[in-house]
C-alpha cells in the first residue's frame, strides 16, 4: 500500500536558543516541579499541534504521558510550546526546541514530519519523535521524502483501524438494540490518517450488521479541520438529521462540536483518543457511548523511558495496536456500554489480536487509498 504524501517546501529555520521559552507566552505548561525533577533524567521538549492543550483529545493525551514520566522521575527539565491558531508556526516551534538542546524533542502530530525529515541531520546527537509521523518513511512509499530513515528520528504510529473497528461494532450493536439503521462518522482532515479511523469504523459496523448505513462527513482538507468545533457541530447535526443515531468522531478539538450537537439532537456520540466521557460536560456525559482509546500517552511515556535508557530506536516507525496496548476502547459509561456489549467487543478484540480479523487501513473507494 502506497501512502501518497506531499512534502511542502520547508526552509531551514534559523532560530535563537531562547526562542523556545519565548514562544510559551510567559508560561511553560511542562515545567518540572523542583520536587520531581531528576538531575539524572533527560530533558524533554514538546511541540504541540493545532488545538493545543485543552483539546480533550490528542494533545492532552500526549501531555498525560509526559506527566506520567515526570511522576516516574524520568525527566530533568522540559518545555512545551503550543502553536498559533492556524498551526503555521509548528515547525519553528519544534526546531526551536531542538536548537535549545533538549535530549528528546516531540512533534505531536503527523504534520511535523516534513520539517523533521529535512532538518533532523542537524541535531544528530538528539532524539526526535513524531506522533503519527512519517519522517522516516522511504521515498518509494512516501512521495518526496528526501532523507529516508533519519537515524535519530522515531515515528510513533498507531493501528487506529483496530480500535475504530471495535467502536464501530459497539455503535452497530447499540443501534440494533435501539431499532436504528444509520450511524455516522465525523472526520477532521481528509487523507490517509483519518481514513484509517473511517475504514475501521465502517468494517466494525458491517461485522455486526452489514445493512446498517454509515454516513460520513469531513470538516476540511488541512490541519485547520482539527480546530473547528462550529463545523463539527454543523456536520454532526446534518448526520443526526439524516437519521444517524450514533456518531463517531476523529476530529481532534473539532469533536467538541459533536458533543454539543449530540445534546441538541438527544442522540449518542463516540469519542476518540482519550476517554472523552471523563472530559465532557455533565450534560454531554450520558450520551457518550464509548471512546476509541489511542494511547498517545503510552507512546510518549515509552519514548521518554527508552530515550533515558539509551534504547530509543531511530530511523524507524513504531506501531502501537491492540496487542501492544496502544489501542483500546473505554468502558466508563456502563449505563450505555452494558456488559453484553462489552462481551461482544472483547470477542472481536481477541480475534484482532490473534489475526482472525485484520481490519484494513483504507477502502478502495477512498481517494487516498492507492495500491502499489
Full pLDDT tens readout for the chain, 372 residues: 333 333 333 333 323 233 333 343 448 999 999 999 999 999 999 999 998 999 888 899 999 999 999 999 999 999 999 999 889 999 999 999 999 999 999 999 999 999 999 999 999 999 999 999 999 998 888 876 899 999 999 999 999 999 999 999 999 999 999 999 999 999 999 998 899 999 999 999 999 999 999 999 999 999 899 999 999 999 999 999 999 999 999 999 999 999 999 999 999 999 999 899 999 999 999 999 999 999 999 999 999 999 999 999 999 999 999 999 999 999 999 999 999 999 999 999 999 999 999 999 988 888 777 543
Tell me the sheet residues that pair with 366: none
Fold of 161-293+338-353: Rossmann fold (3.40.50)
**Is the Cβ–Cβ distance between 124 and 148 less than 8 Å?**
no
Q: Which residue's C-alpha cell is 529555520?
A: 13
CATH assignment, 19-158+296-320: 3.40.50.2300
Q: Which distant-in-sequence residues (6+ apart) come within 8 Å of 221 by Cβ?
A: 189, 190, 191
74-107 in b/e form (b: 16+ CB < 10 A) is: bbbbbbbbbbeeebebbbbbbbbbbbbebbbbbb
Which residue do the cell numbers 512533534 mark? 107
The reported pLDDT for the residue numbered 57 is 83
The model's pTM is: 0.86
Residue 21 has a pLDDT of 37
Cell 452489514 locates to 210
Residue 22 pLDDT:
36
**CATH 3.40.50.2300 domain range(s) in the chain:** 19-158+296-320, 161-293+338-353
Which pLDDT belongs to residue 196? 94
The whole-number pLDDT of residue 139 equals 82
Q: What is the pLDDT of residue 143?
A: 77
Q: Which residues pair with 155 in a beta bridge?
A: 130, 317
What residues pair up with 18 in beta bridges, in sequence order? none
Q: Hey, how many other C-beta atoms are within 10 angstroms of the C-beta on 372? A: 6
pLDDT at residue 370, rounded to an integer: 59
Q: Which ranges of 182-248 does DSSP label H, i.e. alpha helix?
A: 192-208, 229-241
Amino acid at each position: 500500500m502506497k501512502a501518497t504524501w506531499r512534502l511542502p517546501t520547508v526552509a531551514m529555520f534559523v532560530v535563537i536558543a531562547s526562542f523556545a521559552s519565548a514562544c510559551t507566552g510567559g508560561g511553560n505548561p511542562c515545567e518540572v516541579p523542583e520536587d520531581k525533577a531528576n538531575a539524572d533524567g533527560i530533558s524533554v521538549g514538546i511541540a504541540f499541534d493545532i488545538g493545543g492543550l485543552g483539546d480533550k483529545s490528542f494533545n492532552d493525551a500526549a501531555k498525560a504521558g509526559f506527566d506520567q514520566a515526570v511522576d516516574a522521575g524520568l525527566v530533568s527539565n522540559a518545555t512545551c510550546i503550543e502553536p498559533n491558531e492556524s498551526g503555521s508556526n509548528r515547525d519553528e516551534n519544534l526546531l526551536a526546541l531542538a536548537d535549545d538542546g533538549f535530549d528528546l524533542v516531540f512533534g505531536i502530530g503527523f504534520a511535523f514530519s516534513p520539517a523533521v525529515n529535512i532538518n533532523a541531520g542537524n541535531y544528530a546527537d538528539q532524539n526526535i519523535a513524531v506522533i503519527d509521523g512519517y519522517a522516516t518513511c522511504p521515498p518509494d512509499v512516501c512521495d518526496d521524502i528526501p532523507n529516508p530513515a533519519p537515524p535519530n528520528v522515531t515515528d510513533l504510529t498507531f493501528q487506529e483501524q483496530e480500535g475504530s473497528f471495535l467502536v464501530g461494532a459497539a455503535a452497530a450493536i447499540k443501534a440494533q438494540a435501539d431499532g436504528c439503521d444509520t450511524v455516522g462518522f465525523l472526520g477532521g482532515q481528509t487523507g490517509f490518517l483519518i481514513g484509517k479511523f473511517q475504514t475501521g469504523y465502517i468494517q466494525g459496523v458491517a461485522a455486526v450488521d452489514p445493512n446498517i448505513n454509515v454516513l460520513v462527513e469531513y470538516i476540511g482538507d488541512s490541519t485547520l479541520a482539527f480546530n473547528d468545533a462550529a463545523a463539527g457541530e454543523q456536520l454532526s447535526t446534518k448526520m443526526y438529521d439524516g437519521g444517524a443515531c450514533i456518531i463517531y468522531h476523529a476530529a481532534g478539538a473539532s469533536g467538541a462540536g459533536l458533543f454539543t450537537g449530540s445534546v441538541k439532537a438527544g442522540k449518542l456520540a463516540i469519542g476518540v483518543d482519550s476517554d472523552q466521557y471523563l472530559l465532557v460536560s455533565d450534560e454531554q456525559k450520558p450520551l457518550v457511548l464509548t471512546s476509541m482509546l489511542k494511547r498517545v500517552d503510552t507512546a510518549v511515556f515509552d519514548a521518554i523511558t527508552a530515550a533515558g535508557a539509551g534504547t530509543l530506536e531511530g530511523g524507524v516507525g513504531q506501531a502501537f495496536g491492540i496487542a501492544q496496548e496502544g489501542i483500546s476502547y473505554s468502558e466508563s459509561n456502563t449505563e450505555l456500554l452494558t456488559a453484553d456489549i462489552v462481551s461482544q467487543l472483547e470477542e472481536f478484540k481477541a480475534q484482532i489480536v490473534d489475526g482472525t480479523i485484520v481490519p484494513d487501513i483504507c477502502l478502495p473507494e477512498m481517494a487516498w487509498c492507492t495500491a502499489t
